[in-house]
Amino acid sequence: MSIDFSPIGTIHTPFDDLKGMPIQPSGAKDVKGIIEVFQEYEQGLNDLEGFSHIILLYHFNKSRGFDLMVTPFLDTQKRGLFSTRAPRRPNPIGLSIVEILGREKNKIFIKGIDVLNKTPLLDIKPYVPRFDTKEVSASGWLEQTQDDSVSMKSDDRFIEKQS
């Protein structure tokens, strides 16, 4: 079975290099960006102004290949890929929740973005606390290090090595 997606727009950010970027939106709290939705999808942005936050689904377009065991940014030991948010995945799809600052036609001005500049956008969904906030009783191996995501920056561990 094959599943095909086409971008609906592009995410513009100040990050042109994978090294040194925030590893999660918590580390990009004040970083501003622009979502540029392709003209044919502009009408679908109607009514977003009533929401303070949106969920972005995007393609890690610079990601190639994957390993099922990885050493994540917030740890020093290998972990199962699906217990991490590592960008090199069988289906390189990312998710970020960002704040809406405003909208002009097909552009949404946002804050709290942690992705590489010119990342292809796959979808936008409104963030609704009643739907999206869950009571959490465990955070697995991240229990002790999750707060480090505010200051941790990416290195080259998930950048494809050239041979």
Residue 94 β-bridge partners: 58
User: Which amino acid type is present at position 47?
Assistant: D
How confident is the model over 80-109, as pLDDT tens digits? 999 888 888 999 999 999 999 999 999 999
Architecture of domain 9-150: Beta Barrel (2.40)
Higher pLDDT, 1 or 72: 1
Check pLDDT > 60 for residue 73.
yes
| Residue 113 · residue 95 · CB < 8 Å | no
How confident is the model over 110-134, as pLDDT tens digits? 999 999 999 999 999 999 988 887 6
Which 3 state secondary structure label does DSSP give 132?
Answer: helix
pLDDT of 143:
63
Residue 119 β-bridge partners: 11
User: Where do the domains of the chain lie?
Assistant: 9-150
Residue 113 CA neighbour count, 13 Å, CB half: 26
Model pTM score: 0.81
Which residues, other chains included, contact 11 with Cβ-Cβ below 8 Å and sequence gap of 6+? 33, 34, 35, 36, 56, 58, 113, 115, 117, 118, 119, 120, 121
